[in-house]
Chains A and B, each alone.
Chain A
Amino acid sequence: MAPEEMESLIRLLSDDGYEVVGPTRREGAIVYDRLQGLNDLPAGWGDEHGPGHYRLHQRDDQALFGYVVGPHSWKKYLFPPRETLVRVLRREDGGFETQPGEPAPPRRAFIGVRPCELAAIGIQDRVFLEQSVRDRAYGARREGVFLVAVNCAEPGGTCFCTSMGTGPRAHAGFDLGLTEVIGVGMHFLVIEAGSEAGEAMLVRLDHRDASEAERAAAERIWQEAPKHMGRTMPGDAREVLAGALEHPRWAQTAERCLSCANCTLVCPTCFCAQMEELPDLEGNASERVRLWDSCFNGEHSYMIGGPHRSTVAARYRQWLTHKLSTWHTQFGSSGCVGCGRCITWCPVGIDITEEVAAIRATAQGKAGGQGT
């Protein structure tokens, strides 16, 4: 379909009662926010990713999706940074009763979900919906979402989705999937429906079957994109890290790490949270509030006597071994989707692919795979 048809898509979704959110340019970054129409998309903008480096630049075309990911991920909608889980009301007799925390969330349509992000949403689904207890609010938000995925034609400088098996093309998990083909004298979107809801929406859009040439153009993108990843992650990261708990690399990296928690904030799968009790001023009602937390915070491992992980080295090790190793045992997959955000937004440019490679290199030099 024509790129301009995105305006119709956004309008139709909005008319259907969805709050449409997607990429938009703000304060030098491409973030996720409400989209009123096509004009809110960062047409003609591209992004540059490197360790501790992120810049937008103007492209020499009007591509609607000519960038990869920004500092926001879709978890800001599905797993909000701040959520009241329960309201507690004190009663006259000294007792209390509880009420649900928040009203029903709006139904949202996510425009421009990258394949790595689809994978990340799937990973968080396993955390919040597939353990013995379900997070109901997450389930409610998740159920109502309309997902419009976008396949990546130009992987970013810190991307490594190919290594993690999460992209750069989405095969399932979306309602509509887009591939933007842009070149000299041509600009169109190849669109596919991934669900019944997607089919129903596609029918209402002005589109036609893709021609041979158009299909071939999309195919070329799907074939070529994997070859241009910014980085690769060793395939045995899980085993390498499991055997490296006492590796000297942790202390070395800790000298650079500021324990600023940026990586956990931008990571689309991180789910650590803290609970806060917020009573009102009169003392008649209180809220149990869940807030994003980070394993880099001192509070995170707090026990009487001080944080259990008092050193940055221990915290960095916790983050990386959880993300790439123990996550497998807990949830049946890696916790990393290869989006590269943690590398881009680390103020000192720590690169997890480099960390794993470094640990792996020394481990291989020793018998038994143990670090020094």
Chain B
Amino acid sequence: MNELLEILKDQPFFEGLREADMRLLAAGASLRTFRADETLFREHEEAAAFYLIRSGRVALESRLPGRRAEVFMTLGQGEVLGWSWLMPPYRWHYSARALEETHAVHFDAPALHACMDRDPVLGYALYQRFAALIVQRLQAARLQAMDIYGGGDVGLGG
């Protein structure tokens, strides 16, 4: 638990949380290892966790009927994975698969939910951080969709 606490304290994502809340998170956390190609979770499964990636690379993918799953984003060291646990229907919006050996901290969501219901200060603090995370992912997705390298000139190269 101490090791996990140290990991949390080192993460900019959790910066500013009260000591007691950090301990609470650490208490509900565990270290997980995933082999290359191993699935972390599948789209539509119950979202009962979120992860903090310590090393390795995780592909987020989505599948359209009749097509192979397409990786729309990868996450790596230091990145938080998973916001589907925050709101109904509490189901994963996409799948996640390790691309190489990946070490991650797994946080138990249902237990955390209960604590957040009881303690609005904790609830607000976590919602703030996850809202920022979602905005970041949304902006990134927009930039990806904008095809910014498409027709434009860049650095006097054409």
Residues on A lying within 8 angstroms of B by beta carbon are 303-305
A304-B156 Cα distance, complex, nearest whole Å: 11
A303-B158 Cα distance, complex, nearest whole Å: 10
Cβ of B152 within 8 Å of any chain A Cβ, yes or no, is yes
Cβ of B151 within 8 Å of any chain A Cβ, yes or no, is yes
A206 to chain B, nearest CB (A): 62
A300 to chain B, nearest CB (A): 16
Cβ of B117 within 8 Å of any chain A Cβ, yes or no, is no
Cβ of B153 within 8 Å of any chain A Cβ, yes or no, is yes
Closest to B152 in A: A305
A304 to chain B, nearest CB (A): 4
Closest to A306 in B: B151
**B interface SS class:** loop
B92 to chain A, nearest CB (A): 38
Residues in B whose Cβ lies below 8 Å from that of A305: 151-153
Residues in A whose Cβ lies below 8 Å from that of B151: 304-305
Closest to B151 in A: A305
A74 to chain B, nearest CB (A): 36
A229 to chain B, nearest CB (A): 46
Residues in B whose Cβ lies below 8 Å from that of A303: 152-153
Instruction: Give me 9 A-to-B residue pairs in the complex whose CB atoms sit less than 8 angstroms apart, sorted by A's number.
Output: A303-B152, A303-B153, A304-B151, A304-B152, A304-B153, A304-B158, A305-B151, A305-B152, A305-B153
B146 to chain A, nearest CB (A): 12
Residues in B whose Cβ lies below 8 Å from that of A304: 151-153, 158
Closest to A304 in B: B153
Residues in A whose Cβ lies below 8 Å from that of B152: 303-305
B138 to chain A, nearest CB (A): 25
Closest to A303 in B: B153
A245-B87 Cα distance, complex, nearest whole Å: 43
B151 to chain A, nearest CB (A): 5
A295 to chain B, nearest CB (A): 20
A304-B153 Cα distance, complex, nearest whole Å: 6
Closest to B153 in A: A304
B147 to chain A, nearest CB (A): 11
B155 to chain A, nearest CB (A): 12
- B58-78 CB mask vs A (1 if < 8 Å, else 0) is 000000000000000000000
Residues in A whose Cβ lies below 8 Å from that of B153: 303-305
A88-B106 Cα distance, complex, nearest whole Å: 70
A304-B154 Cα distance, complex, nearest whole Å: 10
A105 to chain B, nearest CB (A): 34
B64 to chain A, nearest CB (A): 30
A306 to chain B, nearest CB (A): 9
A123 to chain B, nearest CB (A): 30
A304-B149 Cα distance, complex, nearest whole Å: 12
A305-B147 Cα distance, complex, nearest whole Å: 13
Taking CB atoms and an 8 Å cut-off, the chain B residues in 117-158 that contact chain A are 151-153, 158
A200 to chain B, nearest CB (A): 52
Residues in A whose Cβ lies below 8 Å from that of B158: 304
A303-B151 Cα distance, complex, nearest whole Å: 10
A302 to chain B, nearest CB (A): 10
Closest to B150 in A: A305
Other 7 A-B pairs with CB < 8 A, given A304-B151, A304-B152: A303-B152, A303-B153, A304-B153, A304-B158, A305-B151, A305-B152, A305-B153
Give me the 5 closest cross-chain CB pairs, A-B, nearest first: A304-B153, A305-B151, A305-B152, A303-B153, A304-B152
A305-B151 Cα distance, complex, nearest whole Å: 6
A303 to chain B, nearest CB (A): 6
A303-B152 Cα distance, complex, nearest whole Å: 8
Taking CB atoms and an 8 Å cut-off, the chain B residues in 1-38 that contact chain A are none
A334 to chain B, nearest CB (A): 31
A111-B153 Cα distance, complex, nearest whole Å: 48
A139 to chain B, nearest CB (A): 29
- B101-115 CB mask vs A (1 if < 8 Å, else 0) is 000000000000000
A191-B19 Cα distance, complex, nearest whole Å: 89
B63 to chain A, nearest CB (A): 34
A132-B158 Cα distance, complex, nearest whole Å: 26
A304-B151 Cα distance, complex, nearest whole Å: 7
B149 to chain A, nearest CB (A): 12
A105-B151 Cα distance, complex, nearest whole Å: 44
A110-B153 Cα distance, complex, nearest whole Å: 45
A305-B154 Cα distance, complex, nearest whole Å: 11
Closest to B158 in A: A304
A299 to chain B, nearest CB (A): 15
A118-B158 Cα distance, complex, nearest whole Å: 41
A121-B139 Cα distance, complex, nearest whole Å: 51
A305-B148 Cα distance, complex, nearest whole Å: 11
A305-B158 Cα distance, complex, nearest whole Å: 12
